Amino acid sequence: MFIKALRVGLGQLIVGIDFLTRPGKLKRSPAEQADVDAATESLALYQFHACPFCVKTRRTLHKLNLNIALLDAKNDVAARSRLQSEGGKVQVPCLRIEEGGKTRWLYESKAIIAYLEQRFDPALAKQTA
C-alpha cells in the first residue's frame, strides 16, 4: 500500500512539474495548422496520465502543437482492450497510426517522439529535405 501511494504521489509530482515547465507551442499559419490537424486525425496516443514516458511524449505533442487523440489505457476499458487486442500488449505510450488502410502500433516514447518530430517538425523537415 505504501508503494502504491508513493507511485501515485510521484506521478502527480511529475505531472505538476510538466505543467510548470511545459515548452511553448510551435507557431504555424492557420492554413499550415489546418493541414497538420488533418494529418493528426489518423493518430491516437494510448497513455497513462502520470506515466513519466507518457508525460515526455505529451510534452512533444504540446511543443509541436499536435492535436492527437489521447486515450487513457488505464481507466478506459475500451481503450485498454483495443490496445491489448490490436496492438498486442498493454504498454504505454503507444501511438496508433492509421495510414493507407493499415494500422501500425508504435511503442516506446523515443520512437514515438522521433516519428512525430520527423513528420511534423518543420526544422527537421528542412534538414532532411
Digit-coded pLDDT (tens) for 5-29: 777 777 777 778 777 777 788 899 9
Neighbours of 65 (CB within 10 A): 17
Question: Which pLDDT does position 64 carry in this prediction?
Answer: 96
Identify the architecture of domain 2-22+42-128 in CATH: 3-Layer(aba) Sandwich (3.40)
42-58 burial string, b = 16+ CB within 10 Å, else e?
ebbbbbbebbebbbbbb
Digit-coded pLDDT (tens) for 73-121: 999 999 999 999 999 999 999 999 999 999 999 999 999 999 999 999 9
Q: Is 99 left (phi over 0), alpha (psi -120 to 50) or beta?
A: beta
Digit-coded pLDDT (tens) for 31-51: 999 999 999 999 999 999 889
- Asked whether residue 126 carries a pLDDT value surpassing 60, the answer given is no
Task: Evaluate whether 35 touches 23 at the Cβ level (below 8 Å).
Answer: no
